[in-house]
Structures are given as C-alpha cells and as structure tokens.
A and B are shown apart, each in its own frame.
Chain A
Amino acid sequence: MANNAGRSAQPAAPVLKYSIFSLARNALSRHQGWPAAWRSPTPRKRYDAVIIGGGGHGLATAYYLAREHGMRDIAVLEKGWLGGGNTGRNTTIVRSNYHLDPNAHFYEFSLKLWESLSHELNFNVMYSARGVLNLVHSPADIDAAMRRGNAMRLNGIDAEYLTRDEIARRIPNLDCGGESRFPILGGLLQPRGGTVRHDAVAWGYARAADGLGVDILQQCEVTGLRIEGGAVTGVDTSLGHIATPKVGIAVAGHSGHVAAMAGLKLPIESHVLQAMVSEPVKPVLDTVVTSGAVHFYISQSDKGELVMGGDLDFYNSYAQRGNLPIVEHVTAACLALFPSFGRLRLMRTWGGIMDMTMDGSPIIGKLPVSGLYMTGGWCYGGFKATPASGWLHAYTIAHDAPHALNAAFTLERFREGAMIDEKGAGPYAWAH
C-alpha cells in the first residue's frame, strides 16, 4: 500500500474511463486487468474537510465538494463498508411528488441530478424512469391527489391523474375490481419517478470522488468530536485523531449519536423500517406502485425480485431488523392489491434505521458549532434525496451558509415553529 502520510492535496491516479472500448479491452484479458475502483489510503493527520459516513450522502458530499468547490483535501470516514447502511437497505425508489414548496423544490432538484447521474459519474446507476403511481381509494384520497398533483405542476414537476380504467390497462395484474376492501378509484402518476440501482450510487460516487483525490477510509469509526472555543478542530477515530476545521455529518439513522459527541440533542428518533423481496420472477410489474391507504410500495428489480415495504415498526430501534407483524402487514397489503402474487415466496427481509424527525422533513445545514454541518433526518425519504443532499451539504460546507434550496431545512426551524410537515402529523417522530 502506498504511503500517503506526507501527501498534500494531489489528485489520485487517473480513473479508468468505463466504456464499450474498455470493456472490450478487458474482455481480451478475461477481466483480470480491471484496476480497483477506488484506493484504500492510509489516513493523514489533517484534512481540509472530513465527512462522517460513507453511504450515498457522505460520498456525494465529498464528490461535490471536490467537483463543484475545488476542495481536494477531503476524507470520508466510514465505520463499516461503503453503502452498508441505508444506501444498501432501501427500496431504490426515486420521485419528487411532494406538496410543500421546500420539499418539492429540493426533491425535484434531486430527480434532475438522478437523470444525468450515470453520465456525470461515468458509472451506470441504472436510473429507470418507469413511473411512480400513488393509488387512491376514497373520494378524500382523490381530492388529496388532485391537490398534490396541481401543486406539483405549479412547481414544474410532472404529474398525471389516472382513472381506474387507465390504471387497469397499464397494470393488468393490479386488482382494480370494485370488490376489494380498499377499491382502487384512480391514482397520481409521476412519470419521471422510478428506481435507481442503490449500491451503484455509493460505488459511483466513491469512484468519482476518489478520482478527484478524496481519501475514502473504511472501517474507521468516529468516536469523538474535538471542539475548542465553539469550533470544530478534529475528530477522534478508531484509526487515531484527524485534525480538520470542517466536519460534515451524513450518518442518518445515527445522527443523534454523532451530534451528541458535540453536546447537541436533535429533534430526531431512530426507528427501524423493514423492506423485503420475493423470489425472482420474469417481468410482471413495470411501474412503482404505492398505496397510502394500506401503506405499501412495490416495484420489480432488474433481477426479477418484487421489492416491497410499508410502515415503520413504530418503536425506537437501532437494531437494523424488525419484527413479523410488519412483514405480515406488508405481504397482506401486497396480496390485497396483487392477488396473483400469492404464489410467490418471500426470499429476504431486512431493516434499516431511519432518522425520524419531528416534522417528517430532513435537516441539511449548519449546526450550532462552528465548522459542523449535517445532512440527515431523512425519515423514509433518504435514498431519492442522495444527489441533492450531497450537492447542498457540500455547498453549505464550502460557503459556510446554506443554498436557497436547503435554507428551510434548518435545525432551528423546530425552535422557531417553521415546520415542513408534509402530512400535518405533528411532533410524533413515528407518525411521519
């Protein structure tokens, strides 16, 4: 391993560009000659910025700090392996079908970044604009969907209301008959919504950030934050002390734990959200289908598995696994909507830990310690936010001030009463 100890900010070896030509060239050598996609450097004693968390959000932050703001002397610290947290545990859905302006503008910015991300990173993240359909089951549901669709269109976001007949034609295996417990009356479709290959997001950002000189340090757990005179001076890690004037926290699920190292208490509870997949089958579902009435969402992966999820387990947890009542609820909801999936077997279930905030919206911005920033509080919505979260977190770190797109997502909004509560659910973390 190269010794990087005395290295000042210098770009890493040029990244091999992935293309049909590099694929053909490497095929001739039986794919034995591919270089590692990123280095495994030795930590240095000091960096201009340290990002805690090597998931999509932390790696994207480092990438945009290097790409957009010219910083090169950056480390990303990951306690486990890249993308081993919620980046590898979500249901891969991307969308921007939000009602409130700050959320609509933020998630639409993110969706626009998704649309060009494979080219930007020279890494196929497999963005598939297959459409996200929210089913409606009651007259009140129809009103709410119309209202949200109109709000989206006023914000320049694509939204279409589909009737029951249109849905039945588009998704023939969905039970659109009138006999079901929650009959389908229509649905709000966002055609540009869809899915993205979740692991590829972490790998693509890691490779691109490494190519710009960012040091990615895996199995390096932060154990403390050093603060002097109200300003960050460094982090203590399992690999020793690292001095830095700027620390960005991107550890959603554990934001409160890391913020407590700076003496901060957050308006966040950690809860477990489960997801599960069926055995793989041939293509049967080409749209992401969700239902608020039964709280259920489903899509089919490129491998053929039906990927589904539903509610939180509804109690504080850091366990990364949940319990069977929610598995039963999700599968029951699946069969209520898609009776023909009843012969499929469930293959795997897993859980991820959500930062559930008190208004259901994220926190992206400065913390009340100079040089300390965070992006977190994602509730259910973190994966689709990854590019915009990283972009805006990087902007905020570089300028020591938020961008217009994340100016509303402050920690202070809870003290000021400026909630961004999409559902109007109130200050109950598990209700969002």
Chain B
Amino acid sequence: MLLIPCPWCGPRSQIEFTYGGDATLERPANDAGEEAWYRYVYLRDNPRGPHDEFWLHSAGCRSWFRVRRDTRTHDILGSAAMGAGWNGAPR
C-alpha cells in the first residue's frame, strides 16, 4: 500500500488518490510546431528509478501535487505542492 504524503493533508492511503502521470513534461507553446507537440503528448522518459509524477488527492482536498517515487521499489522520496520545492522547501 502506498502512503502518499499530500502537502496539505499529510500521509494518506493511496486509495484516496488518482494518478496523473509524468510531472517533468513542459507544455509547449501553442505555435511550437508538430515535433514539440509530438514529444510532449506521446514520448516519455519512463525511468527505472526516481520518477516525478502528478497525483490528485481526489477523495481528500482535491489538490493536484507532485510526488517523487522510485519506480523500482515504490519508495516515496518526497512530495511538493504545485510551484513549491520538494518536502516543503522553497522553490
């Protein structure tokens, strides 16, 4: 069972959360061209190891935030509110 540290509600069971995928992707400008959009929409680093990802506390505070999690072990290495640094540090 994942114990996911919501930046607002603290550690909560994974059943309260919805996964949102890779949080390292940066949305290209609307006129960035097909190649940039292709890479953003379809291609993924898909790392074996630490992975920054979005989660939504859907059965809690309804906030989106980021989690850093090791995809080999499921160990959670930290979390961050949108726009904030990891584990409460300023960005």
Do A and B interact? yes
User: Complex: how many Å from CA A428 to CA B18?
Assistant: 13
B60 at the interface (CB under 8 A from A): no
Residues in chain A near residue B1, CB distance under 8 A: 323-325
Q: What is the distance, in angstroms, from B22's C-beta to the closest C-beta of chain A?
A: 8
User: Complex: how many Å from CA A414 to CA B74?
Assistant: 29
Given A325-B14, A428-B21, A430-B19, also A318-B44 (CB < 8 A): no
With beta carbons under 8 angstroms apart, the residue of A254, A314, A317, A429 that contacts B44 is: A429
Residues in chain B near residue A427, CB distance under 8 A: 41-42
B57 at the interface (CB under 8 A from A): no
Mask of A261-274 contacts with B, CB within 8 angstroms, 1/0: 00001111110000
Given A256-B44, A269-B46, A428-B21, also A316-B51 (CB < 8 A): yes
Residues in chain B near residue A256, CB distance under 8 A: 44-46
A415 at the interface (CB under 8 A from B): yes
Q: Interface size class for chain A?
A: 20 to 34
Q: What is the distance, in angstroms, from A381's C-beta to the closest C-beta of chain B?
A: 19
Q: What is the distance, in angstroms, from B74's C-beta to the closest C-beta of chain A?
A: 6
A270 touches B46 (CB 8 A): yes
Mask of A316-347 contacts with B, CB within 8 angstroms, 1/0: 11110001110000000000000000000000
B42 touches A414 (CB 8 A): yes
Within 8 A of A (CB), among B36-52: 38-39, 41-46, 48, 51
Mask of A186-211 contacts with B, CB within 8 angstroms, 1/0: 00000000000000000000000000
Given A315-B19, A315-B53, A325-B1, also A414-B38 (CB < 8 A): yes
A44 at the interface (CB under 8 A from B): no
Main secondary structure of the interface of B (DSSP, over half): mixed
Q: Interface size class for chain B?
A: 20 to 34
Residues in chain A near residue B73, CB distance under 8 A: 319
User: Complex: how many Å from CA A268 to CA B46?
Assistant: 7
User: Complex: how many Å from CA A266 to CA B42?
Assistant: 8
A257 at the interface (CB under 8 A from B): yes
Given A257-B48, A324-B1, A325-B15, also A319-B71 (CB < 8 A): yes
B72 at the interface (CB under 8 A from A): yes
B77 at the interface (CB under 8 A from A): no
With beta carbons under 8 angstroms apart, the residue of B2, B34, B41, B44 that contacts A265 is: B44
Residues in chain B near residue A121, CB distance under 8 A: none
A318 touches B14 (CB 8 A): no
Mask of A410-431 contacts with B, CB within 8 angstroms, 1/0: 0000110000000000011110
A323 touches B2 (CB 8 A): yes
Residues in chain A near residue B21, CB distance under 8 A: 269, 316, 428-430
Q: What is the distance, in angstroms, from A222's C-beta to the closest C-beta of chain B?
A: 14
With beta carbons under 8 angstroms apart, the residue of A266, A315, A319 that contacts B72 is: A319
Residues in chain B near residue A269, CB distance under 8 A: 21-22, 44, 46
A358 at the interface (CB under 8 A from B): yes
Residues in chain A near residue B38, CB distance under 8 A: 414-415
User: Which 10 interchain pairs have the tightest Cβ spacing?
Assistant: A267-B42, A256-B46, A414-B42, A265-B43, A315-B19, A314-B19, A358-B42, A318-B48, A318-B71, A316-B71
